[in-house]
Amino acid sequence: MRYGNFETDVSAYSADLELARLCAEGDEHAWERFVREYRPLLYRAADALDRTQGAREIADSLYADLYGIGTSGGERQSLFRYYQGRSSLATWLRAVLAQRYVDRVRAQKKAEPLPDEDAAPARGDDTDPDHPRYVGLVRDALRRVVARMSPRDRLRLACYYVQGLTLAESGRALKESEATTSRQLARSRRELRRDVEIALREDAGLSDDQVAVCLSSVADDPGQLDLKQVIYE
């Protein structure tokens, strides 16, 4: 009976399974449909998790994992392969997003220093004395990493993050579809974070815990970090 119910559930979401399969294979038309239909849903789910829109970055970053990136063996590994059709694709996406959000919150809490019970009460100034140094380290790492990116990837970042163009407008500027722009931006964000973390460890000599604290500090307050200067230098 359970097997029969499972088959019925899968059959109910066969269209979602087919869309996920096509997206995992990199079908351009499927991706355009996915972005058009599910990006608003992901943004609404992200805003429900964090009213300050802090979870939207996580929603955007999902596209890289959903599309899949090349492995050492040259094969693309798409997150869609975990979708088995036991629920609707929308429900599954919301669950994945929620788990990513919880994981980030936990990681940030682990990076926070434990309170000093013997410390004197705060006097209204909780500025991190290391913050200016963190901003400088991230800025230098970003400059080196961005300099190694392809001109097309830098232009895509500039259109979306510096010029403030929408995904559709950025796509038109680069003569590519909105789905491709979204997918490539997600890939670039993932690669940027990975390479910046590597640079902070190898060039700045930070430990893994220090890297997490550094990135969290800069994310909370970018300070003098100017993306325009980083991208166009």
Identify whether residues 89 and 163 lie together within a single domain.
Answer: no
Digit-coded pLDDT (tens) for 7-58 = 445 567 889 999 999 988 888 888 889 988 998 888 888 888 887 777 888 8
Domain assignment present for residue 115? The answer is: no
Identify whether residues 93 and 181 lie together within a single domain.
Answer: no
How many domains does the structure of the chain reveal?
Answer: 2
Identify whether residues 6 and 82 lie together within a single domain.
Answer: yes
Domain assignment present for residue 192? The answer is: yes
3-state secondary structure 113-150: CCCCCCCCCCCCCCCCCCHHHHHHHHHHHHHHHHHCCC
**What pLDDT is recorded for position 3?**
40
Identify whether residues 96 and 135 lie together within a single domain.
Answer: no
Identify whether residues 200 and 165 lie together within a single domain.
Answer: yes
Domain assignment present for residue 89? The answer is: yes
Domain assignment present for residue 220? The answer is: yes
Identify whether residues 68 and 167 lie together within a single domain.
Answer: no
Torsion angle of alpha carbons 90, 95, 98, 99, nearest 10°?
Answer: -150
Identify whether residues 15 and 82 lie together within a single domain.
Answer: yes
Identify whether residues 140 and 226 lie together within a single domain.
Answer: yes
Write the Ramachandran bin of 210: left for phi over 0, alpha for psi from -120 to 50, otherwise beta. alpha
pLDDT more than 70, % of the chain: 77
Q: Which two tokens stand for residue 125?
A: 């100034």
Is a pLDDT exceeding 70 seen at residue 127?
Answer: no
Domain assignment present for residue 32? The answer is: yes
Domain assignment present for residue 125? The answer is: no
Identify whether residues 60 and 12 lie together within a single domain.
Answer: yes
Is a pLDDT exceeding 80 seen at residue 84?
Answer: yes
Q: Are 186 and 61 in contact (CB under 8 A)?
A: yes
- Decide which of 109, 140, 168 is a domain's last residue: 109
The more confident residue out of 141 and 162 is: 141
**What pLDDT is recorded for position 125?**
43
Domain assignment present for residue 124? The answer is: no
Identify whether residues 80 and 152 lie together within a single domain.
Answer: no
Give the range of the structural domain holding residue 137, as residue numbers without chain letter.
131-232
Identify whether residues 216 and 155 lie together within a single domain.
Answer: yes
Digit-coded pLDDT (tens) for 180-193 = 888 888 888 888 88
The residue whose two tokens read 């000093």 is 116
CATH number at residue 45: 1.10.1740.10
Is a pLDDT exceeding 60 seen at residue 93?
Answer: yes
Identify whether residues 86 and 163 lie together within a single domain.
Answer: no
Instruction: List Cβ neighbours of 7 (8 Å cut-off, separation of 6 or more).
Output: none
